[in-house]
């Protein structure tokens, strides 16, 4: 009995002491502090930013993402006690919440009346405070989205500030507000309360760059930023995967490849530490180390091993040709390249190996590294799998990628750990993913989309990742999908169109979504996937310099013909382009934008962006809800007889005439007009008369209609599946010189 009394006394002492500390530290009332103390103790809450919410001058609307049943209790304990809380029906009636409901005024949410009531505007105009609890879905349905419209309308009418609040970690609690059990249940996760700086509704809309006077998307984007801020981007690649292992469980199966290798988080990080230890004996911290491997568990082990060792992975595009590979090695000052003898032999890359050696780099074979591993090495790595070999920070270079070179020579893009981790988290804040998902990635990791979206996003979010070595196996990949039953897939239009032609019914029917980037998705491809597999293609947009995802459509917020809306925490500006009446050249900034370039004239030297803004080189237009339409490349404009013509626009026009074929539009010098437009096509039936008729129907100038047609069996493409315009233009010049154009 005495022991029980002593234990109760100790609990009461800790409770009271915590309450006193929180009352003084956060400025809470005594009742708030007493009721907040158990949450602070159980969930080790990080609440340093709650002072922003409490200190915001009224009128103010606190917009809380409602994930779990304890969210109202937390907010009632932490927000100023004069706040009016609009609670859902379950929270308003819950008996256990009764003590917390006594802390402030509460009313029950009524979808028919509350958000159109003038009472709320009057409350705010009277220097009031309002707490609104929004649905937690990353992709809210149209009914839920009406709440965003209502909140921003009320905030505008009352000229109130908006403060977004997101409780990181609450999505794992077993008592979810939606009633749906979480993908991963944890009774006492660490919680992190994310609070963003206050902004008025008008400031949000203006920042969104929209001409609309009332834009719910502006509020939705701000809430997504709060979700992103609740995560920790200041991690290295190794640390981010390690944290995922601790969250989803070390034994969670996370990686499988075409060779049959199946790795849990523990095995993956143990192997990465073994390789990291080996790499420290071959290189110095900060060195650029080439990685020339196909999509496989070995490639992921090498990437994480180099991150663990504090080295920079220079991912070699072995499909770019010997000349480009040699130039890349020299530009990034790569002295060692990690590869596999079996891979080089099977892929017939002897000429690429010679190019690597010609650049002064040495090949180190994985087979040799594996044979040198001792039992003691394995035992030490198994004990220390949670810890990197070399302590590093998130703001140093993590990888070097080489741009596609579709229109010129490739450039070396330097991305930090933070760039990559933030971009993966930005994607997770926009598209719903969970540890229940199975991701099929056919895009090579030397392609930025294949690295971040196809590899890092699944690894960090507990998705089972299946890596397939080549996207060109058009008949085999549908068979893999039938066996694997993936729920998510990443690809490009070129590859997706080919899979749709070769797949059998049901091969891809398990997919929840397919994210497509790197090139425009053709209407024919979209229709084929929808009709044959019932799968929606979510078109996105990115560039290597942005790690790479910039914008993406979602299942709910999807507009065909656009690439979606810009990701959270990114900003864009549009500058006029000669000859383009609507839209302009797109510039971007954000935490995912690269550290800088390395160039051939100054090898190994990082050249950061002068003002933090990246010139994408793309010409776009943005509608009043923020959906972006790519209208062309600034470099892909031709000046014909003094008129600017978008080659991309002409290409889309030709695609509508022969939708099942592949086409590319290029310009070549012309003595009379300066430049002339040439169509390169796989359509054997293509003819100039049909093009002129289409141009007349579309109302485009005659000078924008291709005057020459070059017919080919296949359009030159890069390893990413994008059209290789440089090679296509060389082909055209060669054909025209030989007089073989139509």
Write out the catalytic residue numbers.
66
In Å, how far are 11, 192, 376, 405, 701 from 679, measured between CA atoms? 79, 56, 63, 20, 16
Helix 493-502 vs helix 523-533: crossing angle, to nearest 10: 40
**Are the CB atoms for 431 and 444 separated by under 8 Å?**
no
Query: How many whole angstroms separate alpha carbon 233 and alpha carbon 249?
Result: 20
Closest to 267 in 3D by CA, of 282, 281, 278, 256: 256
Strand partners, 619: 585, 632
- Residue 466 tokens, joined: 């299946």
Closest to 452 in 3D by CA, of 383, 569, 550, 356: 550
- Burial letters for 463-489: b for 16+ Cβ neighbours within 10 Å, e otherwise? bbbbbbbbbebbeebbebbbebebbbb
Q: What is the DSSP letter of 567?
A: P
Q: What is the dihedral of CA 457, 461, 463, 465, to 10 degrees?
A: 40
Cα(first)–Cα(last) distance of the chain, in Å?
100
**Are the CB atoms for 491 and 443 separated by under 8 Å?**
yes
User: Phi, psi at residue 164, to the nearest 5°?
Assistant: -75, 140
Query: How many whole angstroms separate alpha carbon 42 and alpha carbon 20?
Result: 17
In Å, how far are 141, 452, 519, 650 from 204, measured between CA atoms? 22, 29, 31, 36
Sign of CA dihedral 672, 677, 680, 685: negative
Strands of the sheet containing 362-365, edge to edge, are: 362-365, 336-339, 288-292, 312-315, 397-402, 412-416, 596-599, 602-607
- Residue 566 tokens, joined: 């810009």
In this structure, are strands 161-168 and 192-195 parallel, antiparallel, or unpaired?
antiparallel
Closest to 418 in 3D by CA, of 564, 565, 546: 546
**Are the CB atoms for 445 and 469 separated by under 8 Å?**
no
Closest to 441 in 3D by CA, of 470, 461, 400, 417: 470
User: Phi, psi at residue 185, to the nearest 5°?
Assistant: -95, 130
Closest to 585 in 3D by CA, of 594, 593, 574, 595: 574
Query: How many whole angstroms separate alpha carbon 107 and alpha carbon 95?
Result: 15
**Are the CB atoms for 320 and 410 separated by under 8 Å?**
yes
Query: How many whole angstroms separate alpha carbon 167 and alpha carbon 176?
Result: 13
Sign of CA dihedral 578, 579, 581, 585: negative
Q: What is the dihedral of CA 233, 234, 235, 237, to 10 degrees?
A: 60
Closest to 173 in 3D by CA, of 190, 186, 160: 186
Query: How many whole angstroms separate alpha carbon 630 and alpha carbon 633?
Result: 8
Strand partners, 580: none
Sign of CA dihedral 219, 222, 224, 226: negative
User: Phi, psi at residue 83, to the nearest 5°?
Assistant: -75, 135
């Amino acid at each position: 009995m005495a022991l029980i009394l002593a234990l109760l006394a100790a609990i009461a002492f800790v409770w009271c002491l915590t309450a006193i500390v929180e009352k003084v530290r956060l400025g809470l009332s005594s009742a708030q502090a007493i009721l907040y103390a158990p949450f602070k103790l159980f969930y080790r809450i990080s609440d340093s930013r709650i002072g922003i919410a409490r200190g915001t001058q009224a009128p103010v609307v606190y917009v809380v993402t409602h994930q779990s049943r304890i969210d109202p209790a937390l907010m009632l304990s932490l927000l100023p006690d004069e706040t009016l809380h609009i609670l859902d029906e379950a929270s308003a009636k819950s008996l256990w919440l009764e003590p917390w409901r006594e802390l402030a005024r509460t009313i029950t949410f009524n979808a028919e009346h509350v958000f159109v009531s003038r009472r709320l505007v009057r409350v705010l105009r009277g220097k009031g405070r309002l707490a609104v609890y929004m649905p937690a879905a990353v992709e809210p349905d149209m009914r839920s989205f009406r709440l965003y419209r209502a909140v921003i309308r009320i905030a505008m009418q009352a000229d109130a500030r908006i403060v977004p609040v997101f409780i990181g970690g609450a999505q794992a609690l077993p008592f979810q507000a939606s009633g749906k059990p979480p993908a991963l249940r944890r009774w006492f996760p660490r919680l992190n309360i994310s609070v963003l700086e206050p902004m008025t509704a008008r400031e949000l809309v203006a920042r969104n760059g929209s001409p609309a006077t009332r834009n719910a998307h502006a509020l939705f984007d701000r809430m997504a930023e709060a979700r992103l801020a609740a995560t920790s981007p200041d991690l290295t690649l190794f640390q981010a995967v390690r944290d995922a292992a601790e969250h989803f469980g070390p034994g969670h199966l996370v990686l499988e490849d075409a060779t049959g290798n199946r790795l849990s988080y523990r095995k993956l990080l143990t192997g990465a530490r073994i390789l990291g230890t080996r790499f420290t004996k071959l290189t110095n911290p900060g060195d650029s180390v080439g990685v020339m491997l196909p999509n496989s568990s070995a490639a992921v082990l090498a990437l994480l091993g180099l991150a663990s060792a504090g080295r920079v992975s220079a991912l070699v595009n072995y499909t770019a040709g010997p000349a480009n590979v040699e130039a890349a090695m020299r530009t990034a000052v790569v002295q060692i390249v990690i590869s596999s003898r079996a891979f080089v032999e099977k892929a017939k890359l002897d000429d690429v190996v010679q190019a690597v050696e010609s650049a002064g780099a040495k090949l180190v074979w994985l087979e040799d590294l594996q044979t040198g591993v001792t039992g003691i090495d394995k035992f030490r790595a198994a004990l220390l799998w949670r810890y990197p070999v070399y302590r590093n920070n998130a703001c140093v270079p993590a990888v070097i990628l080489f741009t596609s070179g579709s229109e010129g020579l490739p450039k070396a893009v330097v991305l930090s750990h933070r760039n990559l981790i933030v971009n993966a988290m930005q994607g997770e804040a926009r598209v719903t993913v969970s540890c229940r998902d199975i991701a099929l990635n056919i895009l090579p990791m030397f392609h930025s989309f294949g690295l971040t979206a196809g590899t890092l996003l699944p690894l960090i979010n507990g998705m089972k990742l299946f890596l397939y070595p080549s996207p060109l196996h058009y008949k085999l990949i549908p068979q893999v999908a039938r066996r694997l039953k993936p729920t998510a897939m990443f690809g490009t239009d070129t590859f997706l169109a080919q899979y749709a032609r070769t797949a059998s019914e049901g091969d891809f029917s398990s997919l929840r979504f397919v994210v497509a980037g790197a090139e425009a998705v053709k209407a024919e491809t979209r229709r084929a996937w929808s009709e044959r597999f019932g799968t929606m293609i979510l078109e996105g947009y990115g560039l290597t310099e942005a790690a790479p995802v910039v914008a993406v459509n979602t299942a709910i917020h999807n507009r065909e013909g656009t690439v979606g809306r810009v990701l959270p925490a990114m900003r864009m500006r549009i500058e006029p382009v000669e000859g383009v009446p609507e839209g302009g050249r797109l510039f971007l900034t954000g935490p995912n934008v690269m550290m800088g370039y390395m160039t051939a004239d100054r090898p190994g030297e990082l050249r950061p962006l002068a003002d933090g803004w990246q010139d994408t080189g793309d010409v776009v237009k943005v509608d009043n809800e923020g959906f972006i339409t790519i209208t062309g490349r600034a470099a892909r404009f031709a000046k014909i007889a003094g008129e600017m013509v978008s080659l991309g626009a002409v290409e889309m026009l030709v695609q509508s005439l022969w939708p099942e074929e592949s086409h590319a539009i290029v310009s070549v010098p012309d003595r009379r007009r300066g430049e002339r437009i040439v169509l390169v096509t796989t359509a054997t039936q293509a003819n100039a008369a049909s093009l002129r008729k289409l141009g007349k129907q579309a109302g485009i100038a005659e000078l924008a209609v291709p005057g020459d047609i070059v017919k080919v069996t296949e359009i030159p493409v890069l390893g990413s599946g994008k059209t290789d315009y440089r090679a296509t233009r060389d082909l055209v010049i060669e054909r025209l010189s030989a007089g073989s154009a139509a």
